[in-house]
Amino acid sequence: MPSIIEEIQTFSAFTFSERRSICLLLDLAKPEARFNIKFFHYWGERSDAPGSAWTDGMLLAAWDRLAQTSRIKAILISKAWGSDYEFHSEALRTAVFITSNGYLRRFEPFYFLFIRLFGVAAHDYIPSIYAAAMLHHDTKSRNNEDEEVLAAMRYRDSSWEAQAPTFHPEWTDL
């Protein structure tokens, strides 16, 4: 079981833009972010370099896609017949949105985000969702992305046991 220190070290190993994207996407997925203009002002105005702030259109699109998070998580937890397929297709839409817009392109930050969005129950699905999102026609292909898809598949083959995350990035200040 990874300790909170190991999870913090994992988070700090991501690039600044990956950490910032994870924090943004987790913030927008919170129920209190719905119709709360303060979230848009906070993330729209945070800029450490010229042009690095998210535009209102990007924030609205991310908010709209992540508004479905609690419903998608409920599908996974329901264990109803066909819920696996429905969860996979809905989570894939979210993954394609995240990868095609360049929020997260590597598997490790993607896994870090998705395990916090959908919980430990999604552990087995995340590598295949990532691979499908990276191979989707809306995602712009780069040379190193094939390597990332293979890393996701190797991760899926490993016997690592799923554990609930203990570290949540909202405790950090970027």
Confidence of residue 160 (pLDDT cuts 50, 70, 90): low
Tens digits of residue pLDDT in 64-103 = 888 888 888 888 888 777 778 888 888 999 999 888 888 8
Write a three-state SS string for the chain: CCCHHHHHHHHHHCCHHHHHHHHHHHHHHCHHHCCCHHHHHHHHHCCCCCCCCCCHHHHHHHHHHHCCHHHHHHHHHHCCCCHHHHHHHHHHHHHHHHHHCCCCCCHHHHHHHHHHHHCHHHCCCHHHHHHHHHHCCCCCCCCCHHHHHHHHHHHHHCCCCCCCCCCCHHHCCC
Query: What percentage of the chain exceeds 70 in pLDDT?
Result: 66
Tell me the per-residue pLDDT of 23-63, one tens digit each, with 9 for 90 and over.
888 888 887 766 666 766 666 665 554 445 566 677 778 88
**Domain limits, the chain:** 4-165
Give the model confidence (pLDDT) of 103-132 as tens digits: 888 888 999 999 999 988 888 889 889 988
Question: Which band of pLDDT confidence, cut at 50, 70 and 90, is reported for residue 161?
Answer: low
